[in-house]
Amino acid sequence: MASRILIVEDEQIIAADLQDKLRRMGHQVVGMAIAGEEAIGMADQLKPDLVLMDIQIEGEMRGTEAARKIQERTGAPIIFITAFPSIFLRETAQTRQAGICLGKPFSRIQLEVALRAALRH
């Protein structure tokens, strides 16, 4: 089933590759953001089914904080993507924020599994 997905990633090459993979998998990328405030505004407006969120994004807001605000406002599940999974584990333990985390680089199969798990709510 196709889902409406918001990508939050400040590295353009990674964001474009992710967008291409998602589209080939049959999903609709409804928007792409590079910073937390931008992502929150886009999520409010676009109401995505799911958000792919990098932890280290542009601006002062971390991806985990932006994700928490997006979840509070829209209820959209979040898949975190990061090159630093240990930072994700430390941050989410401190904030009690649970979520699925994909370590960069990840395969298409890993992405598909994460999408299925996140959308199974």
| pLDDT (mean) for 36-61 | 96
Q: Cβ of 86: how many Cβ atoms within 10 Å? A: 9
CA distance 9 to 103: 14
**What was the pLDDT predicted at 100?**
86
35-45 pLDDT, tens per residue?
999 999 999 99
| pLDDT (mean) for 87-110 | 72
Tell me how long the chain is: 121
**What was the pLDDT predicted at 88?**
62
Sheet holding 100-103, edge to edge: 28-33, 4-8, 50-54, 78-82, 100-103
Q: Cβ of 121: how many Cβ atoms within 10 Å? A: 7
CATH level 2 (architecture), domain 4-118: 3-Layer(aba) Sandwich (3.40)
| pLDDT (mean) for 63-78 | 93
Q: Is 81's pLDDT higher than 50?
A: yes
| pLDDT (mean) for 3-23 | 96
Contacts of 15 (CB under 8 A, 6+ apart): 7, 9, 32, 34
**What was the pLDDT predicted at 95?**
47
Q: Is 92's pLDDT higher than 70?
A: no
